[in-house]
Structure 1
């Protein structure tokens, strides 16, 4: 039995490795700059965001590290966007492969998210180098960073599994998800500091701003990105759900939602994946 299990997962790992390698090479095939685009795209987006929202609209937390906080937030959000979007289309784009070869179908979705993870790792390396050059003083909080990244990956994988299943039966899912992502982007404190919410709403009704901050951090994506910023760059000026609330049950809600999304995605994918080849 153990020999069969070892052989089965060995073949799955080989298929996963080849899919990741193929997708990564095809991603920049024919491009003059090639893999450099994985760094240039978030940097160019950062420049646009910085000029529009920091220089013109004056979005800032009042510290010199805010440009780095902004760059880090954009890099993390790009990973969530790419992993879920690529995962959503992964099954439908591999329809011919599913009909010809019998292998665990979840490997296709996992390979899509791993490709996004590779690009995110490159971007994170650029952010860390920028932090070192800017003189950011790292604290012991950086040791929490791997846990934050694992949570972000699990959240993305759960969403990708759910969306990839939905897209097989309902092709409009990709267009709807684009709109949902746009709404989530502005509902997540990426281009603006979270403290700005309390500052603006506090002028209208004292106490409301803090409540809205806490509610925004119930979104797992917002909680994770704020935690990564807090642990890597600005622990003193980046509020998190852990610093805004002392209620352990409230603090655990976004973490519980992350695992709930992962389990839901796995359950739905396992239930409907046997019929993928027939439907497509």
Structure 2
């Protein structure tokens, strides 16, 4: 076992050093020249939350009726912001780092991972802010908060898989950037982020069926699980408490793994031609 650990450490030590350097550089460059600097990683989702809360919760009355809904809304926006930011930045990462990849020899995947890790750091900061809001809102935490790391890991694996696919396609087809911007907007409103899933469940005819189909989307499933385990287990519908069939419950998790494996496979298959095409 000790020999195996030493072998793995020796094999990936250089990659780990490069990854840490790129993550630090990416995080610093993101806010370089900005007066508020890193504070924008907190202020951006907070301002978006204020707009969404005023429009959807106050004006349009889209709420689940619980006192914790503002915190649930903020947590959903922060989670989506991580997915959106990581995929958008990671999509361009190989092309943006093209000069570096041609000059220095290191695994190409590190560039994509570093882009998503920078977004993950911002997400961690935002989660601390959500925790502060939850404490002020007198949210009662349960043992399910112990499951939160598993939910975040699934969200990151899903994000990384999608980013590998997008980064590979962007090297060959630059139009994918504009296509992804449009798809993100459609995806944003197709999952219960700014509106509670309870509203869909309350539709008279096919509400329950539509809600179940929505929760099979791995993005919706992970964000609902994060909300459920962190803030509101009593009022947040999830695939686990709305669908009784274990095989159907496993679909979002299987889709997450399939997207990740597909992303890694496609990236590894075409990465040898990146330098030539760029």
TM-score calculated relative to the size of structure 2: 0.97
Please give the residue correspondences for 1:128-277 in structure 2 after superposition, counting only pairs within 5 Å: 128-199=131-202, 201-202=203-204, 205=205, 208-277=206-275
Task: Say yes or no: does 1:34 pair with 2:32.
Answer: no
Task: Say yes or no: does 1:121 pair with 2:124.
Answer: yes
Q: Which residue of 2 aligns with 1:50?
A: 53
Q: Which residue of 1 aligns with 2:110?
A: 107
Q: 1:108-155 CA deviation, whole Å, 9 max, x = no partner?
A: 000000000000000001001111121100011111100000000000
- 3-state DSSP of counterpart to 1:236: coil
Displacement after TM superposition at 1:8 (Å): 3.6
Separation in structure 2 between the aligned mates of residue 5 and residue 146 of structure 1, nearest angstrom: 24
> For structure 1, which runs of at least 5 residues remain unmatched after alignment?
none
CA 1:233 to 1:277, structure 2 compared with 1: closer, same or farther past 3 Å?
Answer: same
Q: 1:223-267 CA deviation, whole Å, 9 max, x = no partner?
A: 000011111111111100011011000000000000000000000
TM-score calculated relative to the size of structure 1: 0.96
How many residue pairs end up in the alignment?
275
Please give the residue correspondences for 1:77-116 in structure 2 after superposition, counting only pairs within 5 Å: 77-116=80-119
Separation in structure 2 between the aligned mates of residue 139 and residue 129 of structure 1, nearest angstrom: 16
Separation in structure 2 between the aligned mates of residue 117 and residue 99 of structure 1, nearest angstrom: 27
Separation in structure 2 between the aligned mates of residue 21 and residue 7 of structure 1, nearest angstrom: 22
Which runs of at least 4 in structure 1 moved beyond 4 Å after TM superposition?
Answer: 1-5
- The CA RMSD measured in Å over matched residues stands at 1.2
- 3-state DSSP of counterpart to 1:192: coil
- 3-state DSSP of counterpart to 1:234: coil
Q: Which residue of 2 aligns with 1:24?
A: 27
Q: Which residue of 1 aligns with 2:79?
A: 76
Separation in structure 2 between the aligned mates of residue 50 and residue 195 of structure 1, nearest angstrom: 17
Separation in structure 1 between the aligned mates of residue 131 and residue 231 of structure 2, nearest angstrom: 9
> For structure 2, which runs of at least 5 residues remain unmatched after alignment?
none
Separation in structure 2 between the aligned mates of residue 31 and residue 237 of structure 1, nearest angstrom: 39
